[in-house]
Amino acid sequence: MHPKRKILVIHGPNLNLLGLREPDVYGAVTQKDIDKTLKTIAEEENLSLKVFQSNSEGELVDAIQGAAGRFDGILINPAAYTHTSVALRDAAAAVGLPVVEVHLSNIYKREEFRHHSYMAPVAVGQVSGFGAYSYVLGLYGLIQEIDKRAGDVSPKRRKKKS
């Protein structure tokens, strides 16, 4: 059994409005639905999961900085700050934790200004375009990265030799 890995999930601005906000783009799923799914996975994977949402760039920076020494990784949907916030990028780079960036929509199929991510160069990976399932894929990717950094090759994750 793995030691309990600690993951911080960060939802950026306007994600608290999921289900109401532009359902043609973001679907009917709510942030609460996403969090419930992630918590179910956390139980199955022996994770400690903390969820944080803010519309304030400064609070998001504080959350990222506060993760150092307390969490093993960060799953983040920076939302609109993806395309504007050097501060979030710098905070993520500074804490030295693996970060996975997620987006509900495929940001590269949307407006031109959404095609650039300040977070991507400091993230271990990015998942976009799969709706709420982007969070699930991102969480599993983050778990793999945390285990890899810890040198874990447990039977559940190890490929079987033929």
Q: Euclidean distance between the first and final Cα of the chain, in Å?
A: 24
Catalytic residue among 11, 26, 81, 135: 26
* Cα–Cα nearest to 132, from 7, 26, 12: 26
d(CA 138, CA 40): 15
Based on the residue annotation, tell me whether 103 is a catalytic residue of this protein.
yes
Catalytic residue among 11, 81, 103, 135: 103
Based on the residue annotation, tell me whether 26 is a catalytic residue of this protein.
yes
Kind and range of the H or E run holding 75: strand 73-77
d(CA 38, CA 73): 14
* Cα–Cα nearest to 122, from 162, 159, 86, 69: 86
> Catalytic residue numbers?
26, 103
